[in-house]
Every structure is written in structure tokens, then in C-alpha cells.
């Protein structure tokens, strides 16, 4: 049926030429007009087809042989300024598609279409300096590769990411045990500098209370904060309120806090948070953002602070919040959950937070695409929570493999050759995945897509720097998701931070 519709559309296109459009507003943005009225196309692979995102029709790019096609409108008489193109899109794995703004007085700006059978919204922002701009929808595909576009808009405003971060919590221990880092060209350098030079502008550092290995404690965090701030990086401090890992499956109290009453526990949270942040401020490295808890789907400081005891959890969060603001009123407080594609979880949790008077500034999300649902589920959730709660959203953790292989004797946490359809465990697959996840955050309505933090890009396989702070011989399950390869060179995915 697709091929019959395509052939009919192409025959119609051959009989009626597609005029170039010259006006200050887009026309036929939903492709409801026959013969793609208002749009021009190169080649013969563009046609109108039933099955739109919102209306009855969509723009499709497809032929039975390899092709390249552009469908476009040129707008003129524009007031110079910042504009954003938004479009609903979907595409198969055999095509590379993108939307772009070009001929606007500066370099072309693109956002690529993620591989997805579901409709997704993407956006690209451009500054117009010559009173005109071309809205361009493109596909370059192998035989049978397809892409769909619909509900295109072009309006003033911006959709960009202000935070492009990296969690580098494991870096000091890696360096202490001999970890080395190189640019893509093979020049050895400081890992933070390499990250910064590739567009990273924020460092995320986790804090444990009394870790067995002496890393991720107050002293180590202070030292790393000094390095980060000296490079001009913003600083996100992530309090786990534990001596080791805190996540949805474990939120254990620090050993020194286990016998405290609930009132004493609230005081301990305040004092610990204030102590670390005040020390950062005293050395001239005030935190820009702070997570009060890490992936607190089921609360923190079990059993007192489980989500089933939300009134108590709210009090613990308030202790952390008050400590943050006592040190620096401008520091933003983040509340962070995992399972970024689970809208039911987020609605329940943040509705409960509202009912219990919880204060915060930013919603933090973890989204690992091989664990946390489809792109569509992720976009539905982040769009909804940004609107429902009126807060900016930070993707606080994400990552993807560049190989299914391993660089040590310890197995990988993710070892599939293709963890997500269309995104192989390869350097190209990792780069495309990071690019496309960033584009979904960028497109959150009303500019509420704050940014993206890549989790542990420098955690390469270094003997002694394993998962377990109590076991020096423990291995690392993460090295195939770092942004440095097994020869310690920066990977192509790292350059995606410069493109957003």
C-alpha cells in the first residue's frame, strides 16, 4: 500500500510543479494540501501520505532505491532575531533524516530525526541576521529507508540546552590508579580539559558520607570542585546520603546515622549538606546546583524516608533544601528520580511531593534507553512533568555503549550488540544515541529542557577503580559506556556536546 500511494503521489508531483515559497510565515504546516502546496522538493522521494500526527496527512520521504531528498520553504521579510523550528517526526533505521534552518545569515543548524516508529517532536534554533531563512526537511536513505514529517512550526524563541554535563565522580580514583586520557587525535591531556574542550560545561560530583575507600567524600569533592571551577565549569553536587551507592534499589543510611532518631536524622541531613556546601563556598567554588538525594524513587535513608512514608521523606528533603539555601540562596535544588520513561511514577511521586509541601527548583531524571522505555515514553514523561509542575527538567544521567566488548575481566552491565533498535553498540551508535536523547530534552516546551548530564564518561577500565568501595579488587562494568575508548582516546560521541 505504501508503494502504491507513493507512486500516485509521485505521478501527481510530476504533473504539477512544486513552487518555491516566499513569505514570512510557513504554509501547509500539516501537509493537508494536495501536492505539498507551499513546499518545494528536490528529487522524487517526497510525497503526501495518509496517516498524519495530528491531521489526516503527513510528508513522507521514501523510494525503493537509495535516495537523498530535501523538502523546504524559504521565508522572507523576517525580523532579525532568534527562531525555532519544531516538527513531529519518525524514521526507520535505514535512513538518516534531519530538520534544519539554513540561509539565515549564519551557519546551517540541524537536529537529526531519532530512529523511532512513534511520533517524536524535535526542534532546532537559529539566529536570523539577513531577514530570511529556509526551513528544510531532509532524508538520505538506503533503498526502502523512510521518514515522516508533520505539524511543522517556525516561530520566535529558543530551544537550546544550557547544561551539557558529565558526572566525573570516579575520575580522581581513576587517575590515582594510573588512568590516562587522550584527545581524539591521541594527545594526552587532563580529562576535565578534554571534556571542556568538547563542549562539556558542567561537572557532576557525588558525595558519600564516609566511604570505605576514601573517595567521593567531602575532601575529594572539594578538590575536584576546584579543578572544575578553574576550567569554567558549572558544579552539580549529588548527595547520596549513604556511605556507598544510593539508587532505586538501595537507599541505606550511613553507618554513623543508623541509630539516630528521626529528629536526629533530619538534623544529620541538614548538617552534612550544609558542611559540604559551605566548605565549597569557602574555597570559592559554590555549587550551582545540588541534588538532595540520588534516584529517590522509593525515597532515601531507609526505612525512615521511604516513599511509603512520604510525610517523613518530605521532612528529610526539606532539611536538605534548607541547608542548600542557607549556604547559597541562588543554588538550585534538584529532586532526582530514575526510570525516565515512567510517567505514572513521576506523577505519583511529584504529586505526593506537592501534597506534602516539598520545595525544589528542578526535576532531575535518569533515562538509560535500554532500561527505561522508548523515546516516545521518555518524551511523553518529560514534556508532561515540565508542564504539570512548572519546573525545568534536567536529564541528570544517561549513557550508551560504544562496543559490546569489555576491557577487563569483569562483565559489562550492558553487553548487547544492539541494545536499542537502530543504535548499535558502536562508536557511531553511541554518538547518534547521545545526539538524539539530547534533542528530545532540547525540545521540551516553553524552554524547560535545562540540559543533559552523561554519567561517568571517564570511568575506563583501571585496576583498583571498581564498583565496590569496600573491595579494591572489584571490577568495572561501565568501561564500554565511557566516552573514552579502550585506548583511552576521546570518542566521537563527545563531540555531540558542541553541536547542541
Residues 297-341: tens digit of each pLDDT: 999 999 999 999 999 999 999 999 999 999 999 999 999 999 999
Distances (CA, A) of 397 to 38, 204, 254, 317, 422: 42, 10, 23, 20, 21
Catalytic residue among 49, 70, 295, 479: 295
Share of the chain above pLDDT 70, in %: 95
Fill in the DSSP letter of residue 270. Answer: H
The answer to whether 149 touches 433, Cβ cutoff 8 Å, is no
CATH top-level class of 163-498? alpha beta
40 burial (CB, 10 Å; 0-12 / 13-18 / 19+) is middle
| 165 phi/psi in degrees, rounded to 5 | -115, 170
Domain 2-156 and domain 163-498, same fold? Reply is no
369-420 pLDDT tens trace: 999 999 999 999 999 999 999 999 999 999 999 999 999 999 999 999 999 9
* CATH class of residue range 2-156: mainly beta
> Is 397 one of the catalytic residues?
yes
Catalytic residue among 70, 397, 477, 479: 397
Question: Which residues fall within 8 angstroms of residue 256, CB to CB, at 6 or more apart?
Answer: 209, 210
Beta bridge partners of 206: 238
What is the value of pTM for the model shown? 0.94
Please check the confidence at residue 3 and state whether its pLDDT lies above 70: no
Res 493 pLDDT > 70: yes
**For residue range 261-302, what is the model confidence (pLDDT) as tens digits?**
999 999 999 999 999 999 999 999 999 999 999 999 999 999
Domains of the chain by residue range:
2-156, 163-498
Amino acid at each position: 500500500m505504501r508503494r502504491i500511494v507513493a507512486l500516485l503521489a509521485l505521478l501527481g508531483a510530476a504533473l504539477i510543479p512544486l513552487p518555491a515559497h516566499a513569505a514570512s510565515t510557513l504554509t501547509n504546516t500539516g501537509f493537508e494540501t494536495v501536492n505539498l502546496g507551499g513546499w518545494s522538493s528536490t528529487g522524487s522521494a517526497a510525497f503526501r501520505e495518509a496517516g498524519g500526527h495530528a491531521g489526516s496527512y503527513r510528508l513522507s520521504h521514501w523510494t525503493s532505491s537509495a535516495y537523498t531528498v530535501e523538502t523546504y520553504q524559504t521565508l522572507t521579510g523576517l525580523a532579525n532575531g532568534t527562531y525555532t523550528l519544531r516538527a513531529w517526526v519518525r524514521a526507520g533505521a535505514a535512513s538518516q533524516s534531519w530538520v534544519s534552518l539554513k540561509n539565515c545569515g549564519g551557519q546551517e543548524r540541524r537536529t537529526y530525526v531519532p530512529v523511532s516508529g512513534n511520533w517524536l517532536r524535535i526542534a532546532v534554533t537559529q539566529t536570523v541576521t539577513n531577514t530570511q531563512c529556509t526551513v528544510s526537511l531532509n532524508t538520505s536513505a538506503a533503498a526502502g529507508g523512510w521518514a515522516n514529517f508533520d505539524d511543522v512550526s517556525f516561530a520566535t524563541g529558543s530551544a537550546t540546552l544550557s547544561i551539557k554535563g558529565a558526572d566525573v565522580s570516579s575520575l580522581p580514583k581513576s587517575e590515582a590508579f594510573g588512568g590516562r586520557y587522550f584527545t581524539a587525535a591521541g594527545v594526552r591531556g587532563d580529562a576535565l580539559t578534554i571534556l571542556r574542550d568538547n563542549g562539556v560545561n558542567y561537572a557532576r560530583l557525588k558525595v558519600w558520607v564516609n566511604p570505605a575507600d576514601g573517595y567521593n567524600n567531602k575532601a575529594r569533592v572539594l578538590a575536584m570542585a576546584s579543578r572544575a571551577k578553574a576550567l569554567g565549569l558549572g558544579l552539580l553536587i549529588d548527595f547520596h546520603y549513604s556511605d556507598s551507592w544510593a539508587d532505586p534499589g538501595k537507599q541505606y543510611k550511613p553507618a554513623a546515622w543508623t541509630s539516630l532518631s528521626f529528629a536526629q536524622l533530619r538534623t544529620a541531613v541538614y548538617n552534612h549538606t550544609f558542611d559540604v556546601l559551605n566548605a565549597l563556598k569557602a574555597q570559592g567554588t559554590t555549587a550551582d546546583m545540588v541534588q538532595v538525594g540520588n534516584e529517590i524513587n522509593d525515597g532515601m535513608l531507609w526505612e525512615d524516608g521511604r516513599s511509603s512514608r512520604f510525610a517523613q521523606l518530605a521532612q528529610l528533603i526539606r532539611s536538605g533544601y534548607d541547608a542548600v539555601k542557607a549556604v547559597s540562596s541562588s543554588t538550585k535544588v534538584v529532586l532526582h528520580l530514575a526510570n525516565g520513561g515512567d510517567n505514572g511514577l513521576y506523577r505519583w511521586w511529584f504529586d505526593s511531593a506537592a501534597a506534602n509541601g516539598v520545595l525544589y527548583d528542578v526535576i532531575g531524571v535518569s533515562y538509560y534507553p535500554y532500561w527505561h522505555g522508548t523515546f516516545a515514553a521518555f518524551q511523553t514523561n518529560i514534556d508532561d512533568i515540565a508542564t504539570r509542575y512548572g519546573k525545568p527538567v534536567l536529564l541528570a544521567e544517561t549513557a550508551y555503549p560504544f562496543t559490546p566488548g569489555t576491557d577487563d575481566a569483569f562483565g559489562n552491565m550492558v553487553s548487547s550488540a544492539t541494545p536499542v533498535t537502530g543504535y548499535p553498540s558502536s562508536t557511531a551508535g553511541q554518538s547518534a544515541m547521545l545526539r538524539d536523547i539530547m534533542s528530545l530534552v532540547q525540545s521540551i516546551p516553553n524552554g524547560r529542557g535545562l540540559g543533559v548530564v552523561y554519567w561517568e564518561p571517564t570511568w575506563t577500565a583501571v585496576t583498583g577503580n571498581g564498583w565496590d568501595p569496600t573491595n579494591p579488587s572489584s571490577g568495572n562494568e561501565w568501561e564500554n559506556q565511557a566516552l573514552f575508548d579502550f585506548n583511552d582516546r576521546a570518542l566521537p560521541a563527545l563531540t555531540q556536546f558542541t553541536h547542541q
